Structures are given as structure tokens and as C-alpha cells.
Structure 1
Amino acid sequence: MSLSTPPPPTQRILGIDPGLQTTGFGLIDITGSRLQYVASGVIETLREDMGNLPARLKVIYDGIREINARYQPDMASVEIVFVNVNPQATLLLGQARGCAVTALVSCGLPVAEYTALQMKQSITGQGRAAKSQIQEMVKRLLQLPVLPRQDAADALGMAITHAHASPSMNKLAAQGVLSRKTHGMFKGGRNH
């Protein structure tokens, strides 16, 4: 009598590439080390009045909640936004990102965060990859028939990055290596 090992569980990861005009999303399933494409696309706020920031943020929030309800992901990963040349654009992008993270958390999803550099290194092997290189590698990794749209490719890249990183992160967490920092804490919030 031989005992067979049960197949590894399948987990669904939602990747988000935040943007105020266009927020990319991408969903993949991971079973062991096998990646499978589920869906991708964008949430666009271009139909709203450009000066009506709350209405545009609501479109992003509602869109992410709709994606969650439709595809039932197990976890999410979001790009970390850094300050760029234009401080006003950075603030607006930060609000779009905060809105996306809030929507994910309101759906009860654990959220991982990665920089664009980490995603590019994970997908292409180099941190300075062009958007077209990311699109091509995402297409290859997920065996897609056509190149995904740039924002969707970045979001799928976020999901793939988390799929690659999460087994290692889980092992480190089990060993207590990733314990939460308590220095620099102020009344339960981060102060660094």
C-alpha cells in the first residue's frame, strides 16, 4: 500500500499597481511552484472630474472590492510608492495607494508590499528593467497569448513577486526572524 502525498494547496494572489488615473490589477493562482493566470485589467478614474479626488478614490476603492468579490483572492501584494520629482504627483499617487491598501484590508486580505525594484528583479532578474521587458517576462511566466497592458503587467508582476517571496518569508516568520519592530513605536503606530 503506497501513501500518496496530497497536492499542495492552491492560493490566489491579487497584485495591485496603484495609480490615480489607472490602477492595474492582476490575479494568479499558485500551486506549489506552478503559476497560473486568472485575470488582469485596470481600474480607470478618467471618467470622473479630474479635480474631484474623493470621487476618483471611490472608483479605486469600489473597483478593488468588486475584484475581491468576483475572484476571491487569498492575499494581495501592492507596489510601494516612492517620492519622485513632482511632490504633488507623489502625494496624489500616495492617496491612490492608500485607498487601494484600505480596500484590500477592508476585504480581510493580508497585504504584502514590494518596491518596483524588487518586482523588476523578481520578474526580469534586473532592477532597471523597462516596462516592455516586464510585459514580456510576465507573458512568458504566465504563458499568455499576448502581452498584457503595462499597468496590468506590473500588477501581475507584483502577484508573481509575492508568489516567489512568500515561501521564504513564511519560513523566516516561523523561525521568528521577521518579528515586528517595537523600537520607534508611538502609541501603536509606526514612528520611523
Structure 2
Amino acid sequence: MVKVLGIDPGLANTGYGVVQRRGGRLAALDGGVIETPADMAVERRLVRIHQRIADLVLEHEPDAVALEELYFGQNARSAFAVGQARGVVVLAAGQHGLTTHGYTPQQVKSAVCGTGRAEKDQVQRMVQALLSLAELPRPDHAADALAVAICHANHAPLTAAVAARRQAGRAVAG
């Protein structure tokens, strides 16, 4: 069993989703958005994001935190704000002894939809199907965070197997 806290970082809206993989089955345990108002000082917004992530870690006790990697696009100011939000998420994870894993938007879309060029609505529909949700996950940021968690939950068993194989190879060689 693996439990993953997926994060779609942002200063105004940080999406989160908790996914558990048991055997071949995926289940959504939680999901939503941490909102911070634009008129709030940046340092207070970051404190709010950090505290909510810390609360989610304590509540769900995930095995790992998976985050969407920074996408620079055309707006450097926006990318900087996302980087700050991502930093406080990584800090909260580290304070609780959790490893963090980053995935590009293309890796997440590919893991969930089979193509790195999927549109947002396609990601939402696939997240709904993969997690057997009655309704489309909303808002977009929560759906994206669930997709990041799914990406890692499906990736984690492979990573563990590769690490175990490397460790066994070292033991034989040593």
C-alpha cells in the first residue's frame, strides 16, 4: 500500500489530493484547494499554505509528497510565485520526514491520460475514471493534484522495484 499527497502548487490556489494505492486499486481519500487572497501579504499567504500542508500530512500520514514541477511558460512573475508556494510545500514535507517527488505537467498528463498533450477536461475525466469518482473532480487545481498523486502512486512501485534490484546487486557485488 502507498499513500501519496499530490500537490499542484500556486500562490493563489494550491491544489491538493490524497490518493491511496492498495494492490492495483486507486482510491481518493481527500482533495481540495488552499486559497489565499491576493490582498494578503505574500509571507502570510505562504504561511497559510505551509500550515495547511502540514495539517494534511498529519491527518493523512502519506508515504510521499508528489508535486507538479514548475512550468515557466511566458510569465516569470507567476513562475516565481509558484516556486515560492512549491518551496513551502517541500519544507512542510521535509519537516515531517517525507520525500518529495516532482513531475512535469507532461509526465502527469501522460501517466493519467496516455499523452502529455491532454487538455484539462480530459485529465479531469481520466482522474474521475481512475479513482471511480461519482463526479468530475473540481476545481481544476484539485483535479490536477489528484493527477499528480496518481502519477506517483503508479510510479512508486516501479521505483521501489528498481531500488531493490540495485540494492540486491550491490549486496552480491560487495
Q: Is the TM value for this pair above 0.5?
A: yes
> How many residues are aligned here?
166
Q: Does 1:102 align with 2:79?
A: no
In the alignment, which residue of structure 2 is the partner of 1:31? 22
CA shift at 1:100, angstroms?
Answer: 1.1
Greater Rg over alpha carbons, structure: 1
In the alignment, which residue of structure 2 is the partner of 1:114? 103
In the alignment, which residue of structure 2 is the partner of 1:41? 32
User: Which amino acid is 1:126 matched to?
Assistant: T
In the alignment, which residue of structure 1 is the partner of 2:127? 138
Question: Normalization by structure 2: what TM-score?
Answer: 0.90
1:149-189, Cα deviation, whole Å (9 max, x unpaired): 11111111011101111111112222339xxxxxxxxxxxx
Secondary structure, in 3 states, of the residue corresponding to 1:49? coil
CA shift at 1:93, angstroms?
Answer: 1.1
Secondary structure, in 3 states, of the residue corresponding to 2:15? strand
In the alignment, which residue of structure 2 is the partner of 1:57? 46
1:102-131, Cα deviation, whole Å (9 max, x unpaired): 111112212111111000000001111111
Distance in 2 separating the partners of 1:161 and 1:100? 18
Q: Which runs of 5+ in 2 are unaligned?
A: 168-174
User: Which amino acid is 1:22 matched to?
Assistant: N
2:144 to 154, 158, 172: 154
Decide which moves more: 54-63 or 162-171: 162-171
Preserved contact between residue 3 and residue 153 of structure 2 (Cα < 8 Å): no
The alignment yields a C-alpha RMSD, in angstroms, of: 1.4
Higher helix proportion? 2
User: Which amino acid is 1:20 matched to?
Assistant: L
In the alignment, which residue of structure 2 is the partner of 1:175? 165
Q: Which runs of 4+ in 1 moved over 3 A?
A: none
CA shift at 1:37, angstroms?
Answer: 1.4
Distance in 1 separating the partners of 2:11 and 2:118? 23
CA shift at 1:69, angstroms?
Answer: 1.5
In the alignment, which residue of structure 2 is the partner of 1:70? 59
In the alignment, which residue of structure 1 is the partner of 2:8? 17
Preserved contact between residue 7 and residue 65 of structure 2 (Cα < 8 Å): yes
In the alignment, which residue of structure 2 is the partner of 1:126? 115
